[in-house]
Structure 1
């Protein structure tokens, strides 16, 4: 192994952990190697070992994250464990004597309080980079729409509407994702991605949130240790931002009959842009030119070597993170801990709004930014 090789460890090698493994294998020519994995689940360990053999990458396998950290083998760790474990694992990484840069899967943590503790702890470790896995920013049509918005083509953003109509939650190890106590709730677990995008498009922080949602179709006939899943499968969420912009999420997780899984609309005072995933189409038009002036753009990114589960966004996420690691403190992570914290805060506020039947202010769940 070359001296300049960046050595990765993956903590949690379930579905997403193995997806990260495959993405990193496509960065091998960039001086990347996966050298260790940690997971207490033996079937996941075996699947990771099979992957490693297929890539001709010798790895060490640990049952726990502390053993991986203590091994001193890794420069970077990927945290892709169940949501409710993120806080403890992140605190152990941040407080470990050896610095490890971290890419943590979304959501950062399941509660705002845990997120804030991680943020505060990380501030005391300037030798560690922490990036949050809000990789939807990198999907080619979404990235193109971000570029259009930031370029001023639409003017001052006033409204952001995101529709996700998709299939139900997948089965995960020990069915951990079937309960709010483990996931933080659907609007934290899944939708932190979309709240992150809303904030990015609006260019402002959220003020208050109103939501309506329920468990109407999915998982109602499932039983785990005598308990029926409580994760909602559909919701409408309205987010108001401090600059007057508004965002709206339309979530349905029993909508397999959809051409696009995500449809994103951003409307400014002079134009409108839309992005469609997985169709990978962007449409942009202006008030002045009207309907006849709408342009359709096929979005693609030739840098992507592996599409994977998220249309190449995880691959691009890794390239950005690797660049930040190699910059040795001169480049900040593209998606930082504050981004992770605010996306969780909006999701928590939305979950509370459904529970309490009223607007929830971000101050109620988060305090000062």
Structure 2
């Protein structure tokens, strides 16, 4: 197998999780890193001492050994950086979500999608969490066709990021874009249908309400309910609470159909689990048929080395394995620009619905996916 030599753009908290997981891959390594923050650059250099540390994206793309890219910069840089790469040296890219943060960015992404000659994989790690992947694999047989899908995330507040960029809607796209595009992607992926209408209620109730940065108060939301109607007739709901870190499980997903129900329970990052409670919980998948009745619970343990490498239940590693195969031409892209586009469009529509109190028809939105 040809070796992947990554050029890394952005080595903050998520970028460093990617570095740890790339180190676990076979035939892969990091050739060059671009990270403008001095502290993060120093941390990344210590993690990958053989990588070349560069000062610009142009300099990174000039490193001959680099044959694929990872973008893990703040949200509002993603599209601009993809456009720069397209103009200079279009290599296979794994780009963190969200792809864009504002409705007016959508035409630029459409132009990129039409012209980019190499694979672009959008990093939707939640698809690859082992319990979520197991649930998706068994959902059709367990439910007889999913008609109702519920995703609940009860978690910790937004963590501190370089320059506090994630404290403001203008930088993130809003919580329902920044945080929840993962879940909107899961909805489309599980239901195999596109959304047609979104209703939401959300706001900032507890977290960061007294925080101010350079005289500007944080406005990032910390809770929401979102209901989505799909073209297939199925419906889905998201419940987000970011002041519920005391919960045993961080994500709880359930899918129900005429034959029964399947659900999964995913613990949060092990580093946040209190020592006095012993070992962190193990992820579960539960299948509950209607006839004969009787739930069946399956534990889904994850390799401890993968849990130690990041905060996403091992999914970052499995995502990189698949990206590696796609970058080398051995499998198709699994999370496309179209998937990433829809996830943002759904988040923007949910933000709009929550602000206006009205349901949003996605067919009327300029940022909805072009056919």
Cα distance in 2 for residues equivalent to 1:343 and 1:112 = 13
Offset at residue 305 of structure 1 (A): 4.8
Counterparts in 2 of 1:66 and 1:118: CA distance versus 1, 3 Å: farther
Match of 1:121 in 2: 112
Offset at residue 75 of structure 1 (A): 0.6
Match of 1:109 in 2: 100
Q: 1:87·1:115 contact (CA, 8 Å) conserved in 2?
A: no
Match of 1:281 in 2: 284
Q: 1:215·1:234 contact (CA, 8 Å) conserved in 2?
A: yes
Q: Where in structure 2 are the equivalents of 1:274-313 lying within 5 Å?
A: 274-278=263-267, 279-290=282-293, 293-300=294-301, 305-307=305-307, 308-313=310-315
Match of 1:353 in 2: 353
Number of equivalenced pairs: 353
Match of 2:344 in 1: 344
Q: 1:141·1:277 contact (CA, 8 Å) conserved in 2?
A: yes
1:82 pairs with one of 48, 55, 74: 74
2:167 pairs with one of 178, 183, 194: 178
Cα distance in 2 for residues equivalent to 1:296 and 1:237 = 28
Cα distance in 2 for residues equivalent to 1:283 and 1:264 = 10
Q: Give the RMSD, CA atoms, in angstroms.
A: 1.6
Counterparts in 2 of 1:301 and 1:115: CA distance versus 1, 3 Å: farther
Cα distance in 1 for residues equivalent to 2:85 and 2:96 = 14
Deviating above 4 A after TM superposition, structure 1's stretches of 4 or more consecutive aligned residues are none
Paired residue secondary structure (1:298): strand
Q: Deviations over 1:178-198 (max 9, x none)?
A: 000000000000000111111
Offset at residue 364 of structure 1 (A): 3.0
Cα distance in 1 for residues equivalent to 2:79 and 2:148 = 33
Cα distance in 2 for residues equivalent to 1:108 and 1:325 = 19
Match of 1:142 in 2: 132
TM-score by length of 2: 0.91
Counterparts in 2 of 1:59 and 1:111: CA distance versus 1, 3 Å: same
Q: 1:39·1:65 contact (CA, 8 Å) conserved in 2?
A: no
Paired residue secondary structure (2:61): helix
Structure 1 unaligned residues grouped into runs of 5+: none
Offset at residue 112 of structure 1 (A): 4.4
Q: Where in structure 2 are the equivalents of 1:201-280 lying within 5 Å?
A: 201-278=190-267, 279-280=282-283
